[in-house]
Amino acid sequence: MAQLNDKAVGAVLLAIGTFVFTYYSIWTLVIPFVDVEQPIRKLFPPQWFAIAIPVFLLVVGVTGIFGFLSFVMLQSGKKAAKKST
């Protein structure tokens, strides 16, 4: 039963990832060549966000990773200091 649930979650995550990849690819590679008057342009945010959103996510992700590593290193340093005394 658990395998079926895992497969369903995996299928949903794959579908979301495929949708996001396709949407972002169209937004960055196709929409700049479409006329401003076309109604399809209303489905996409301004081009500035195509760079700002990934940069923001990258900064938040790297900050989170280094924050986690710093926390782990501080905790292991405290344990090593406690063992040596």
Kindly indicate the confidence band of residue 85, based on its pLDDT and cuts at 50, 70 and 90.
Answer: low
- In this prediction, residue 84 carries a pLDDT of 73
Take residue 2 and report the two structure tokens written for it.
């658990």
Per-residue pLDDT tens for 2-27?
677 889 999 999 999 999 999 999 99
Residue 34 region, left (φ>0) first, then alpha (ψ -120 to 50), else beta? beta
Give me the pLDDT at residue 79, please.
Answer: 79
**Spatial distance between the Cα atoms of 13 and 67, rounded to a whole number of angstroms:** 26
CA angle (47 as vertex; 46, 52 as ends), nearest 5? 100
pTM over 0.85: no
How far is Cα 85 from Cα 76, in angstroms, rounded to an integer? 15
DSSP assigned state of 53: H
pLDDT tens per residue, range 23-79: 999 999 999 999 999 999 999 999 999 999 999 999 999 999 999 999 999 998 887
Asked if residues 50 and 24 have their Cβ atoms less than 8 Å apart, the reply is: yes
